[in-house]
Amino acid sequence: MNHEISIVVNGEHRTTLVDSRRLLVHHLREDLELTGTHVGCDSSTCGACTVLVDDRPTKSCTVLAASVDGSRVLTVEGLADPGGHSPVQRGFRARHGLQCGFCTSGMLVAATALLADQPDPDDRAIREGLEGNICRCTGYQTIVESVRWAAEHGGAGNAATAHIAAAREPS
């Protein structure tokens, strides 16, 4: 059975028809061609598919696309500020918070949500904020350093902050 859904993805209103069994991650990647969100485990274990749904980090591999009807969705493609990369993206580059890159999109989104809620987290808060996002390459220290760098250089960033603020406005 198909459902028409209306969502705002990365600030753009999208109305699409989705099968009732279609997962959000597949809708984003295949229907909307936003391939930055990765499919890692299909069981919500790794966090590579993390997106923000109404400002909450959400593992899109376990959410039906039809269930986000009326929501705002932010993917890794929506993190960049108008002038370039967000502070979180710049932090991952500056502090080498990635290696193979597979988990990076989910880490970036989760870190953005963390910094929107906690602009100056300590290392423990960063580790807790990224809990549920697995990196098999880095050992996490450079990821923590990347998020700390971002906190010191602009936090969540303008695009993400605007998205999160809009999601929090009463309907």
Residue spans of the domains in the chain: they are 2-78, 87-167
Alpha-carbon span 104 to 134, nearest angstrom = 10
Average pLDDT in the 4-14 region? 97
- Which two tokens mark 21? 């069994």
- pLDDT at residue number 137: 86
The β-bridge partners of 9 are 12, 73
Alpha-carbon span 157 to 115, nearest angstrom = 9
pTM of the model as a whole: 0.90
Checking if the pLDDT of 170 tops 90, the result is no
CATH no. for 2-78: 3.10.20.30
Average pLDDT in the 40-63 region? 92
The architecture CATH gives domain 87-167: Orthogonal Bundle (1.10)
- pLDDT at residue number 43: 80
Banded model confidence at residue 101, pLDDT cuts 50, 70, 90? confident
